[in-house]
Amino acid sequence: MAEIKKIKIDVSDGALIPEKGEKAGLSAWRISFFGALGLLIILPLIRSEPYRQIIYFLPDGILRTFQVTVLSIIFSLIVGLFTGLGRISRNKVVNKIATIYVEIIRGIPLLVQLFYIYYAMGKLIRVPRLIAAITAMTVCYGAYLGEIFRAGIQSIPKGQMEAALALGMSRMQAMRRIILPQTVKVVLPPVGNEFIALLKDSSLVSILAVSDLLRRGREFASKTFYYFETYTVVALVYLILTLFFSKLVGIMEERLQKREG
């Protein structure tokens, strides 16, 4: 019987990440990034009205988008680390709680979680819009990062933990001093991809009236009725940001591979 060759298919919701061997001058990433950047520069020169006004109107929305993204990823990393540790814990109660959290959160769309935390829970406790947005993003991405940390920890050979225990370390000491430092190197690339995905998903917080990039664009469009022009600029800014950070993730992953090599 013919042998069936297993093929691994990697699918990511992140932006286009340039591959190591992609050095051509007309690479897909370069065309996309510099094309979007060029359009953002040329449009105000061709039509000062309204493109220049739109660009002047959006910077505070970009800063708010970064604020939501950075705070959410920081808190998500903390939640994800403890969730990942809980998923591999020998304590059945802790393991079950972490597993249930991951299964529930990954089964509910982020948009629904935003509505639930701000509107549904608003009957019990009124949460400010920005805090509700960061909380929902943290809860959602904490579950996904928890799985990344779990997979990263389990990728470290079990013999290293056994050797540490044989040297007299406790499991906690071995995890902190030996396993987690190696895990960080393993999970950095996928965590970078999650950062890019979170940056894009941060546009959803505009439904809570958080003045992010998309919300500011909607405000300008509703006042001036320049919907096509406004959303063109917003889309270009999001594209430039995600492609820029995807490049950083690609560089980071390449450097990690060189160190390991």
pLDDT digits (tens, 9 = 90+) for 51-74: 999 999 999 999 999 999 999 999
pLDDT of residue 3: 46
- Percentage of the chain surpassing pLDDT 90? 54
Q: Give the residue with greater pLDDT, 162 vs 145.
A: 145
Q: How far apart are CA 250 and CA 231, in angstroms?
A: 28
pLDDT of residue 27: 80
pLDDT of residue 5: 45
Q: Is residue 89 classed as helix, strand or coil in its secondary structure?
A: coil
Report domain extents, the chain.
Answer: 48-260
Q: Which secondary structure element, helix H or strand E, spans residue 38, and what is its range? A: helix 28-46
Integer CA distances (angstroms), 140 to 176, 210, 258, in order? 25, 18, 33
Average pLDDT across the chain, whole number: 85
pLDDT digits (tens, 9 = 90+) for 168-184: 888 888 888 888 888 88
Q: How far apart are CA 33 and CA 241, in angstroms?
A: 9
143-153: average pLDDT:
93
pLDDT of residue 7: 41
> Measuring CA to CA, which residue among 220, 238, 208, 253 is closest to residue 56?
220
Spatial contact of 72 and 246, defined as CB atoms under 8 Å apart:
no
Residue 161 above 90 pLDDT?
no
Integer CA distances (angstroms), 83 to 76, 148, 187, in order? 10, 10, 14
Band (197; pLDDT cuts 50, 70, 90): very high
Q: Left (φ > 0), alpha (ψ -120 to 50) or beta: where does 168 sit?
A: left
CATH superfamily of the domain spanning 48-260: MetI-like (1.10.3720.10)
pLDDT of residue 172: 84
Residue 261 neighbours by CB distance under 10 Å: 5
Q: Give the residue with greater pLDDT, 250 vs 199.
A: 199
* Choice among 19-28, 113-122, 148-157, 229-238 with the minimum mean pLDDT: 19-28
Task: Name the pTM for this structure.
Answer: 0.84
pLDDT of residue 14: 52
pLDDT of residue 11: 47
Band (1; pLDDT cuts 50, 70, 90): very low
> Which residues, in sequence order, are CB contacts of 168 under 8 Å at separation 6+?
none
